[in-house]
A and B are shown apart, each in its own frame.
Chain A
Amino acid sequence: KQEVTQIPAALSVPEGENLVLNCSFTDSAIYNLQWFRQDPGKGLTSLLLIQSSQREQTSGRLNASLDKSSGRSTLYIAASQPGDSATYLCAVNTDKLIFGTGTRLQVFP
């Protein structure tokens, strides 16, 4: 059974710091992995999708890497801003999406 874990569960940092969020999964047989952002009481915003054949994807200040063999993905956020405050979810796609436990990020001015 696929299990997805995210570390840390919560993170509070001052503005400007570079951050690394971690996602690990137990079964490497995935089609792709996706990172989402969720603001309180809102739906999901897709940030990055990495196909199983890819090693990383970049969008603006965000960079996501994937090491399928070790069952790990990281989301790197450069120069964090208060507007980055949200819950970040990773999800692995094995024909259906299995979501991680989430990391609640707070960036303070």
Chain B
Amino acid sequence: GAVVSQHPSRVICKSGTSVKIECRSLDFQATTMFWYRQFPKQSLMLMATSNEGSKATYEQGVEKDKFLINHASLTLSTLTVTSAHPEDSSFYICSARVVGINEQYFGPGTRLTVT
């Protein structure tokens, strides 16, 4: 149980375009989902927290207009990187949490390369 998927696993896009990453909880309902970014040989940094049906809460230094997060249902959250630039190239990982349980279940990650 507690499986989280991400799609796509890898994506290459051109500078200036937008790309959407999906995060799904497959066998449970996730009231809260989290988005992390990981640069090469660095640790995970929390970007934002999203609760179903409400606006996401972004961490300091993360541009909310650039990284659009939508958590429209209890099983799906999406991260859209708008007007992508090469410096947005990174490994993006989502996680999901069930209400009342203080444990996050992680997706396999999405490798974004902006050329």
Chain A residue contacts of B45, Cβ below 8 A: 99
Chain A residues with a Cβ under 8 A of chain B? 31-32, 34, 36, 41-44, 46, 49, 89, 91, 93, 95-102
Chain B residue contacts of A41, Cβ below 8 A: 91, 111
Q: Is the interface of B mostly helix, strand, loop or mixed?
A: strand
B91-115 interface code vs A (CB 8 A; 1 in, 0 out):
1010100000011101111010000
Closest residue on chain A to residue B108 by CB atoms: A43
Q: What interface size band does chain B fall in?
A: 10 to 19
Determine whether the beta carbon of A99 is less than 8 Å from that of B109: no
- Knowing A41-B111, A44-B93, A96-B49 touch, does A101 contact B106 (C-beta < 8 A)? no
Contact among B42, B49, B106, B111 with A44 in the assembled complex (CB-CB below 8 Å): B106
Contact among A43, A93, A99 with B107 in the assembled complex (CB-CB below 8 Å): A43
Chain B residue contacts of A89, Cβ below 8 A: 43-44
Given A42-B109, A46-B106, 15 extra CB contacts under 8 A: A32-B103, A34-B103, A43-B93, A43-B107, A44-B44, A44-B93, A49-B103, A95-B102, A96-B49, A97-B34, A97-B104, A99-B44, A99-B45, A100-B43, A102-B42
